[in-house]
Amino acid sequence: MASVLVIDESQQRAVEICTGLIQAGHQVAAVLPSALELVARIEEIKPDIILIETESPSRDTLEHLGVMNRDMPRPVIMFSQDDGQDTIRSAIRSGVAAYVVDGFDIARLRPVVDVAVAHFEEHQALKRELAETSRKLSERKVIEKAKGILMKSRGMDEETAYGALRKLAMERSQPLAKVAGNVVDMAELLL
């Protein structure tokens, strides 16, 4: 059972949404009339999912969602009447996992939530994988640079330079990339 933050300027629609969420087996964490101060409210409420019903998402709402998606990502479902391609693209860029045109429908709520959560989880996994790959590539570049410095300054071959870096890393109980970074930093300082 997930806790859902509902954002809807219409109290009547919000009641329908809350009823549908409860029928779908979810808990309503809170109901807000707008996305103003969204980040602060999410920190306070800590919902698992955010559901927004709107005629058309405002630029401010999308900006708040973008900040939230960067700082504390959560699956966001947006029901809207606006089917404009630019609006949909802006919403997706802001972190909306499911953008549903033609408004809220109780019958579609459970599958929409399931799809949004699955899409969000897949997106988060890809972001983590990309960050890990970028980190490894960055570390590899530093290690290669440090090996080059040792090869040039000490007349070592590549294998010997790499062995020297590994030995130093083990002696200092530090990651190889950190030791390589120190070698690069010292070489830049001395040149």
Q: Is residue 14 part of a domain?
A: yes
For 173, the domain range is 132-190
Residues 24-42 pLDDT 10s:
889 999 999 988 888 888 9
Please say whether the beta carbons of 53 and 31 come within 8 A: no
Kind of pairing between the strands at 3-8 and 49-54: parallel
Q: What pLDDT was estimated at residue 189?
A: 87
Higher-scoring residue by pLDDT: 60, 102: 60
Kind of pairing between the strands at 98-101 and 27-32: unpaired
Verify that 33 and 86 share a domain, yes or no.
Answer: yes
Verify that 138 and 58 share a domain, yes or no.
Answer: no
pLDDT surpasses 70 at 103: no
Please say whether the beta carbons of 75 and 120 come within 8 A: yes
User: For 166-190, what is the mean pLDDT?
Assistant: 93
The mean pLDDT value of the chain amounts to 91
What is the total count of domains within the chain? 2
Give the CATH number for residue 143. 1.10.10.10
Residues 117-172 pLDDT 10s:
999 999 999 999 999 999 999 999 999 999 999 999 999 999 999 999 999 999 99
